A and B are shown apart, each in its own frame.
Chain A
Amino acid sequence: MLDAIVFYGLAALALASAAGVVAQKNPTYSAFSLIVTLCSLSGIYGLLGSPFIAVLQIVVYAGAIMVLFLFVIMLLRVKQEDHPAREGRLLKGVAFGLGLLLALQMTVVLAARGGTPIPSIYEASTPAVARLLFAPRFLYVFEATSILILAALVGAVALAKKEP
C-alpha cells in the first residue's frame, strides 16, 4: 500500500520534471529538472527491487554525467533560447508526441493482457547481480565496455582539445 503511494508520487515527480526538461527556456534549469527526474527514477528502481541499479543510477547518471552537462553549460555561457520552437512547429510537435504516446500506451495495454504473474520472491541482491555480470554470458560484454569507455575518453579529449 505504501509502496503504491510512493511509486505514484515518484512517477508524478518524474513526469513533471521531464516535462520541465523539455519546456524550460534556460538550459541550466533543464539540467536541474533532468537531475530531479534521474533521482526519482532511482527511487522507482529501488521500489522495483533493484537497490544496486538504484544507487548506480545516482552515482553514474546524476552524480557524474549531469555534472559534465552542467560544466559544459556553465563554461560555454549558454544563453536562453527565445522560443522553444518556431511558430507552428510547437503545435505539430506536441501533437506528434501525444500521438506517439497514445500508440505506445495502447500497445503496452493490449500486450499485457493475460501476462505471466509477478513472482513474489525476487533475489536481486548485489552479489546475485555480480555473479551474473561475471558469468561467461556477460563477461565478454563487460570487458568490451571498458574498451568502449577508453575509446570515449580518448575521443572526448581529442575533440575538445584547444589547437595550440
Chain B
Amino acid sequence: MTLPVEHAVLLSVALFAIGVVGVFLRRNVITILMCIELMLNAANLAFVAFSRALGALDGQILVFFVMTVAAAEAAVGLAIVIALHRHKDTLDVDAFNILKW
C-alpha cells in the first residue's frame, strides 16, 4: 500500500488543532463537549496510524480503551450539563462563574 502514514498523522494534528480552537472559542457547554470528542478522535487516529506504521496491534487496543473512556466521559459530562441547565436555565459557560473571587 502506498498510503503514507505521515499524512494520517498530519490529519490527526489538524483535527486536534480544530478541536482546541473550538474549546476556546465556543460558549455553549454542549458544543465544547463535542469539540473535546473531536480531540479524542484525533488522538485515536494517531494511535491507529502509528499502529499501522509499527506493525503492532497495541495501538488498536488503546483506541478501544480510549473509545470506552470517551463514552463514559460523554455520559457523565452530559449529565452534568443537564444538572447545570436545571439550576440556571442557560448553557453559556460564562454564566457559571460563582467560584470566581
Contact = CB atoms under 8 A, between A and B. Distances in A.
A1 B2 CA distance: 7
- Chain B binding surface SS class: helix
Given A56-B67, A73-B30, A22 B41 contact: no
Contacts of B5: 48, 118
Contacts of B91: 76, 78
Interface residues of A, number: 80
B24 to A, nearest CB: 5
Interface string B1-28: 1110111111101111111111011111
Contact of A155 (B18, B53, B76): B76
B74 A68 contact: yes
Contacts of B17: 97-98, 100-101, 104
B45 A97 contact: no
Contacts, number: 222
Interface string B37-59: 11001001100110111110110
Interface residues of B, number: 69
A118 B3 CA distance: 9
A48 B8 contact: yes
B83 A149 contact: no
Contacts of A122: 52, 55
Nearest to A95: B21
B11 A11 contact: yes
A45 B11 CA distance: 12
A14 B15 contact: yes
Contact of B64 (A56, A96, A148): A56
Interface of B: 1-3, 5-11, 13-22, 24-28, 30-31, 33-35, 37-38, 41, 44-45, 48-49, 51-55, 57-58, 60-61, 63-65, 67-76, 78-83, 85-86, 91-92
29 contacts: A4-B2, A18-B14, A18-B19, A22-B22, A22-B26, A27-B34, A31-B34, A37-B41, A48-B52, A65-B37, A69-B30, A72-B30, A72-B81, A73-B30, A76-B91, A85-B25, A89-B25, A96-B24, A98-B17, A105-B13, A109-B10, A118-B55, A124-B52, A132-B58, A149-B71, A149-B72, A153-B75, A157-B79, A160-B79
